[in-house]
């Protein structure tokens, strides 16, 4: 968890907004996940969330649903996710988190999961269907393994509960920007900003990052005015999906395009052009 904390602290100190990027393990296919993660890293990700595919991802919109289904159809299992994670962590210092749902972890065994995650070099995890009410067994094992457990808040979360979540979370507070699924539109941006301002005033202990519905650099700039950073998932998944559906083009250009897409998310169109390896 320390690498993630240090990374976020460094971003905050520099006055930069941290960029977290989500990618489903096993997507677009089991062999390509690792090279995709590399490009996300080179493109400027401050941390990466590796999605653990689940058969019933009930907080996801269509792009991430499709990516999970595709990964599962390709036979991706938890041990493959750990293998990909370990390979990534061996070659990069960029913090890696796992994101997913409670059941695969429960089935793996929470303690065994935390142990294997730590051994792979993972910093922590985020579970979309484990609220404060149910987090203790997960938080206990995570802490015992030195892993973080990131909690989410939503626009309809009451003030006092946001404060409670700030106390319970480790690493950062994940502000879901809308009442909706991943990949939804942001809707009326003033509402999102009002909510993030409110959240900012409640979240005093941990960094605050906004995610869900962020598709462009402009969205990111606008939302992270009130937060320490932002997280992009569905837009990147869609980018990868489109690239890999173009069988005719060689994968090499796919990877370049991913890097450019990620750079543009972070720096705008200007940044996307600058190739500084």
Partner 1 sequence: MEKTHPLPDERGHFGLYGGVFVPETLIPAVEELRKAYEAARKNPAFRQELDTMLTDYAGRPTPLTFCKRLTTTLGGPKIYLKREDLCHTGAHKINNTIGQILLARRMGKTRIIAETGAGQHGVATATVCARFGLHCIVYMGEEDVERQHLNVLRMRLLGADVRPVSSGSRTLKDATNEAIRDWVTNVRDTFYIIGSVVGPHPYPMMVRDFHRVIGDETRRQLREMEGRSAPDAVVACVGGGSNAIGLFYAFLKDPNVQLYGVEAAGEGLNGRHAATLTQGSPGILHGAMSYLLQDEDGQVQLAHSISAGLDYPGVGPEHAWLRDTGRVHYASATDAEAIEGVKLLSKTEGIIPALETAHAIGWLPEGIRGMAHNEVVVVNCSGRGDKDMGTIAKHL
Which member of 60, 160, 164, 275 is catalytic? 60
Q: What is the DSSP string of 221-263?
A: HHHHTSSSEEEE-HHHHHHHHHHHH-TTS-HHHHHHHHHHHHH
Residues linked to residue 229 through DSSP beta bridges, in sequence order: 18, 209
Examine the residue annotation and report whether 31 is marked as an active-site residue of this protein. Answer: no
Query: Which of 59/87 has CB closer to partner 1?
Result: 59
How close are the terminal C-alpha atoms of the chain, in Å?
A: 27
Looking at residues 238 to 277 of the shown chain, list those that interact with partner 1 (rule: CB under 8 A).
none
Give the whole-angstrom CA distance, residue 6 versus residue 66.
34
Q: β-strands 229-232, 208-211: how paired?
A: parallel
Question: Exactly one of 7, 151, 239, 260 binds partner 1 (CB under 8 A); which one?
Answer: 151
Site for partner 1 contains 3 (CB under 8 A) = no
Contact 202, 162 (CB under 8 A): yes
The tokens 């990868």 sit on which residue? 240
Using the minimum distance from each CB to partner 1, give the nearer residue, 202 or 265.
Answer: 202
Query: For the window 31-60, what string marks contact with partner 1 as x by the rule CB under 8 A?
Result: -----------------------xxx-xx-
Helix (H), strand (E) at residue 19? strand 18-24
Exactly one of 48, 64, 114, 152 binds partner 1 (CB under 8 A); which one?
A: 152
Between 179 and 216, name the residue whose CB sits nearer to partner 1. 179
- The least CB distance from residue 107 to partner 1, in Å, is 3
268: left (phi over 0), alpha (psi -120 to 50) or beta: left
- Two structure tokens written together for 222: 């606008």
Report the residue number, 178 or 243, with the smaller CB distance to partner 1. 178
Contacting partner 1 (CB under 8 A), which of 5, 25, 67, 157?
157
- Candidates 101, 125, 172, 195: give the one binding partner 1 (CB under 8 A): 101
Give the footprint of partner 1 on residues 164-223 (CB under 8 A): 165, 176, 179-181, 184
Which one from 49, 134, 193, 218 is the annotated catalytic residue? 49
How remote is the C-alpha of 108 from its chain's centroid? 21
User: Closest approach of Cβ 114 to partner 1, in Å?
Assistant: 15
Least separation, in Å, of the C-beta of 237 and partner 1?
Answer: 16
Backbone angles phi, psi at 55, to 5 degrees: -65, -25
Size of the site for partner 1 (CB under 8 A): 40
Q: Which two tokens stand for residue 174?
A: 């994940």
- Angle at which helices 251-273 and 217-224 cross, to 10°: 50
DSSP 8-class letter at 28: S
64 exposure class (CB count in 10 Å sphere: 0-12, 13-18, 19+): buried
Catalytic, 60? Answer: yes
Segment near partner 1 (CB under 8 A); pick from 16-24, 149-157, 190-198, 236-244: 149-157
* Binds partner 1 (CB under 8 A): choice among 69, 164, 238, 257: 69
Q: Which chain residues interact with partner 1 by CB under 8 A?
A: 54-56, 58-59, 61, 65, 69, 72, 77-78, 101-108, 128-131, 133-134, 151-158, 161, 165, 176, 179-181, 184
Residues serving a catalytic function are 49, 60
């Amino acid at each position: 968890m320390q690498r993630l904390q240090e990374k976020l602290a460094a971003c905050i100190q520099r006055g930069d907004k941290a960029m977290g990027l989500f990618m489903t393990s096993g997507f677009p296919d089991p062999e390509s996940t690792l090279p995709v993660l590399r490009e996300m890293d080179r493109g400027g990700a401050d941390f990466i969330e590796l999605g653990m595919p689940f058969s019933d991802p009930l907080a996801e919109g269509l792009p991430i649903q499709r990516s999970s289904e595709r990964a599962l159809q390709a036979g991706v299992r938890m041990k493959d996710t750990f293998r990909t994670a370990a390979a990534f962590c061996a070659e990069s210092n960029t913090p890696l988190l796992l994101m997913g749902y409670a059941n695969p972890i429960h089935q793996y065994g929470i303690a065994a999961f935390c142990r294997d995650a730590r051994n792979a070099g993972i910093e922590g995890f985020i579970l979309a269907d484990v609220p404060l009410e149910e987090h203790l067994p997960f938080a206990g094992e995570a802490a015992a393994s030195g892993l973080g457990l990131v909690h989410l808040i939503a626009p309809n979360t009451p003030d006092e509960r946001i404060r409670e979540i700030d106390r319970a979370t480790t690493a950062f507070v994940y502000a879901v920007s809308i009442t909706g699924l991943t990949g939804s539109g942001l809707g009326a941006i003033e509402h999102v900003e009002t909510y993030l301002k409110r959240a900012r005033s409640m979240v005093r202990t941990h960094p605050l990052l906004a995610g869900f519905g962020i598709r462009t650099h402009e969205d990111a700039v606008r939302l992270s005015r009130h937060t320490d950073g932002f997280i992009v998932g569905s837009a990147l998944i869609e980018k990868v999906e489109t690239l890999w559906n173009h069988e005719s083009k060689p994968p090499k250009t796919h990877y370049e395009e991913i890097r450019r897409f990620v750079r543009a998310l972070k720096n705008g169109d200007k940044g996307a052009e600058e190739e500084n390896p």
